[in-house]
Amino acid sequence: MPIHPDPSAVAPVVVTRPLQQATAFAAQVEALGRRVEIFPLLAIEPVEDTAELQAALGRLDAFALAVFVSPNAIDAALRLLPRWPQQVAIGIVGEGSRVALRAHGIDGGNAVIFGPQRTDKMDSEELLKALPLEQLRGKRALIVRGQAGRDFLGEALQGQGIVVEYVTAYRRLMPPLDARNRAQLLALADAGADWVITSSEALRNLLELARLAGGDDRVVKLQRQRIFVSHHRIAQTARSLGFCSVILTGSGDERLLAALQSSP
């Protein structure tokens, strides 16, 4: 039998993913014996007008490749699509996206899925290395993303002679600060916690919310707390924002969980 630490004896783990994605991961953290608090740092909302997204999905057959930048992009698009056209390859940049595809009935058995080969570095650069660029040259690729995002992949594909189109599937917003989450954030800042951060945007939102809730004193307290990040780019952002204890785990929930388990 594994020996779990006393949850009251260690700092809580704060799961900061959008609410739609936080619950399942929080349950996995609790199974380690850690106390969990859910504090979303991003709110995911559908685009107000889905006409552009529906039009792009309606002509998927014109594309050789569709890249989903995140699980949110997958969920927003596939809820509008009854069936994935098998001849259109899929590109993803993380294991969370592979899980999201399976939730919609799509896996390697009924679709060609390209993703990074390095499990410790899952990003657009690694996806690019995994794509059959020679086969895609002269064809069309669709990138399904939020209202803004990095242009690295699209520019790289265009540089390989691939015609790229973008379509916005969802919006990312900073959650509003209300009485409930203000009190929660102040308590976490004062008592100390381990924060799981999976995007640089979420990290910036954390400091902005802390500043709004309690001023610079709370920001400094948060900067001294331990944060677990899934990508080297987030780690760089964290250090540039003044965080002192940054633990880079690598991509995938299993690595985040392993790091939390070994760092009580």
- Do 68 and 75 touch, CB atoms closer than 8 A? no
Which residues in the chain show pLDDT less than 70? 1-9, 119-122, 148-150, 264
Q: Which of 183, 191, 252 is nearest to 221 (CA)?
A: 191
Residues 87 and 153 in one domain: yes
> What pLDDT is recorded for position 2?
43
Residue 78, pLDDT score:
95
Question: Considering only CA atoms, which of 72, 74, 119 is closest in space to residue 230?
Answer: 119
Q: Is residue 2 assigned to a domain?
A: no
Residue 1 lies in a domain: no
> Within this chain, do residues 53 and 156 fall inside the same structural domain, yes or no?
yes
* Domain shared by 85 and 167, yes or no: yes
pLDDT tens readout for residues 162-183: 999 999 999 999 999 999 999 9
**How many domains does the structure of the chain reveal?**
2
Asked whether residue 169 falls in the same domain as residue 181, the answer is no
Domain membership of residue 85 (yes or no) is yes
Q: How many CA atoms lie within 13 A of 262 on its CB side?
A: 9
Same domain, 238 and 188: yes
| 17 domain residue, yes or no | yes
- Residue 195 to residues 16, 175, 187, Cα–Cα distance (Å): 7, 17, 14
Domain residues for the domain of 253 are 7-42+176-262
Which residue do the tokens 């939020």 mark? 146
Q: Does one domain contain both 202 and 243? A: yes
Say if CB 26 and CB 15 are below 8 A apart: yes
User: What CATH number is attached to the domain comprising 246?
Assistant: 3.40.50.10090
Mark whether 65 and 166 lie in a shared domain.
yes
Let me know if residue 111 belongs to a domain.
yes
Give the pLDDT score at 144: 96
**What is d(CA 37, CA 252) in angstroms, rounded to the nearest whole number?**
20
Structure tokens belonging to residue 15: 């799961």
For residue 3, the model assigns a pLDDT of 44
Q: Looking at the structure, do residues 195 and 146 belong to the same domain, yes or no?
A: no
Report if residue 240 sits inside a domain. Answer: yes
Domain-embedded: residue 221: yes
Question: Does 33 lie in the same domain as 66?
Answer: no
